Structure 1
């Protein structure tokens, strides 16, 4: 399964250090998974989930305390209604997708990711919208050309019809380039105290046995930008090194790993060290803290433990497609009408302000 991302994606007033800020939403519908919600949404700002919805609870809820304090009940009621409508369209979409791909049973996923990013130093902005089916690209919005493209023949019919509808294309462009940016800055203001924090990583070298690969594990850092490199006798070493994915922790921080494969003699006769750079600070790991018997469990429970977070559940089910490039996924529906409703909306505590364009349930297959 080819990975697809996002990943990821704020404020004027220089709320955070000069960098790119991002707002994105992930929608995921599934079939064939009895113990997983059929529909899940996650809202993310600067890599930090701030709202969520699933078809079991059927209620939009905050993922961060700062979000719960910043908006009123009207916001959550409106978000819930939007997600309920999108849920129906997404779940119906899977059956249509299976027909188009000539499939019957099995586990299938439809995902959409959309959002925007903003550089608080240069003022540059960017928007992205992508749709995926079973972990593969299905349709992508090219904002520069203002048209949808599809890498698969099953998406050709949809692309042809969508590109004729200039009203929807202009609506998508306006949302991604204007409304999304406005709400990104608003959310950055809401979560300023949390989002502008800087926490250095904790670095550990982990190994299952003396002949196993050595993993450099950096965790608990914020913001997400981190660089992990290996040094051998004072020189950068890139051979037999595998860099892991950036993963979120439940507390809003991040973790990342880099694994090096060397023989016990190589490790013994050379000086290896892991160098982790974050926010101008450097952490170095050169002592293996865990060297267990081969039959003992690998001391990486802290890594897989984060899979309990809603964000990673969504990503995991979709083949971890969303943390690979700055794109996302939309629904597949059997509605041929081309009608559409709102994206996620935003609101202040007292009143509701639309954050949306009009395509959260816009059908892909028709």
Structure 2
């Protein structure tokens, strides 16, 4: 399977690419350190901008975004109204309804929505998605094939007939996801072409906490995020004693990842047989780092160039996730009551 993925990765320059435009909204209640509503827009997993109710301003994260919005004032107006008028009212009303149904007047509550589209630049195929989560659990989503709402939790069953009956809202969502979203995605790709289609090679280092710890092969500063990293011995991929890390965003829009190798069963005289391999989409050659004691850097040195700060947005999202997991754990001990929205008025307001 890995060899197939490597082949696809190396041939990526002549194959199609799926681009995505994603909208994340997270509303919270009972968390003083978080804004009532946080919104994030991403293109191809790179944050383009954010907004929150505490600042009341749109915050572009890429240099070209302001120029893009200046040339399309209607779209800037849309994002401003969504972030600071429509969505805050909708999410606040929805959380209040859910709290009433659960008979909960206090505590932490998190309501999230993920929506957007994917576009294949070769086939032209478009897929969309629109779904909600409540307190860390999938709640309800829209099936774009049938234009009906699909409960993802038993508690959401009562919502299905109410939301299915509101055809105007459902049709608006479907039109936005399948028509407007792809067009905005294509235009954004044109404006941000130099940034979004760039190729940045990584800086690769070997790190080790202490002599008995695994050696971590760490790559940072690469773009795009379509990459593969693994350990190899005598030219063969290693699967045992290897731990793979996720591809994570850096503060500057690039990415980082790592793969660890357990040295407990590696003989000192065999170190030269091991190498860390990094593959990046659009780059044919492998980036190889030999396992060598002389180049391993100890984490105790705290090298400044390897310190990868993350954006305030990621910090907020991490905090939201932590709070959500904690709440889910607590709620598992209590019997939940079904909850519903009295009607779809709030959803209509959010989408008109």
- TM norm structure 2: 0.79
Q: Report 1:108-187 matches (<5 A).
A: 108-187=109-188
Corresponding residue for 2:61? 63
SS in 1 for 2:158: helix
Corresponding residue for 2:9? none
Separation of aligned partners in 2, 1:300 and 1:241: 26
Asked if 1 retains the 8 angstrom alpha-carbon contact of 2:156 and 2:340, the reply is no
Asked if 1 retains the 8 angstrom alpha-carbon contact of 2:90 and 2:347, the reply is no
Corresponding residue for 2:89? 88
Which piece of structure 1 moves more, 238-247 or 180-189?
Answer: 238-247
Q: Which one of 289, 292, 305 corresponds to residue 298 of structure 2?
A: 292
- Superposed CA RMSD in Å reads 3.0
CA separation of 1:47 and 1:320: change in aligned 2, threshold 3 A: farther
Residue-pair matches, total: 316
Asked if 2 retains the 8 angstrom alpha-carbon contact of 1:203 and 1:216, the reply is yes
Asked if 2 retains the 8 angstrom alpha-carbon contact of 1:82 and 1:342, the reply is no
Separation of aligned partners in 2, 1:229 and 1:305: 24
Corresponding residue for 2:39? 41
Corresponding residue for 1:338? 345
SS in 2 for 1:281: coil
Q: Report 1:307-326 matches (<5 A).
A: 308-310=311-313, 312-319=314-321
Corresponding residue for 2:212? 211
Displacement of 1:220: 0.8
Separation of aligned partners in 1, 2:341 and 2:97: 6
Displacement of 1:191: 0.8
SS in 2 for 1:33: coil
Q: Which runs of 5+ in 1 are unaligned?
A: 1-15, 322-331, 344-357, 360-366
Asked if 1 retains the 8 angstrom alpha-carbon contact of 2:51 and 2:59, the reply is yes
Separation of aligned partners in 1, 2:30 and 2:289: 43
Corresponding residue for 1:18? 16
The one-character-per-residue Cα deviations of 1:49-97 (angstroms, maximum 9, x if unpaired) are 1121111101123221101122226654442222112113223333333
Q: Report 1:201-280 matches (<5 A).
A: 201-263=202-264, 265-266=266-267, 269-270=270-271, 271-279=273-281, 280=284
SS in 2 for 1:90: helix
Displacement of 1:27: 0.4
Displacement of 1:105: 4.0
Asked if 2 retains the 8 angstrom alpha-carbon contact of 1:275 and 1:284, the reply is yes
1 or 2 for the larger relative contact order (CA 8 Å, sep ≥6)?
A: 1
Displacement of 1:157: 1.4
Which piece of structure 1 moves more, 283-292 or 224-233?
Answer: 283-292
Corresponding residue for 2:333? none
Displacement of 1:232: 2.3
The one-character-per-residue Cα deviations of 1:316-355 (angstroms, maximum 9, x if unpaired) are 134289xxxxxxxxxx995634354577xxxxxxxxxxxx
CA separation of 1:342 and 1:117: change in aligned 2, threshold 3 A: farther
Asked if 1 retains the 8 angstrom alpha-carbon contact of 2:38 and 2:52, the reply is yes
SS in 1 for 2:162: helix
Separation of aligned partners in 2, 1:100 and 1:281: 58
Displacement of 1:101: 4.5
Q: Which runs of 5+ in 2 are unaligned?
A: 1-13, 324-338
Displacement of 1:34: 2.0
Separation of aligned partners in 2, 1:92 and 1:319: 22
Q: Whose Rg is larger?
A: 2
Separation of aligned partners in 2, 1:19 and 1:34: 41
SS in 1 for 2:152: coil
Separation of aligned partners in 1, 2:319 and 2:208: 28
Q: Which has the higher helix share?
A: 2
CA separation of 1:108 and 1:301: change in aligned 2, threshold 3 A: farther
Separation of aligned partners in 2, 1:320 and 1:313: 10
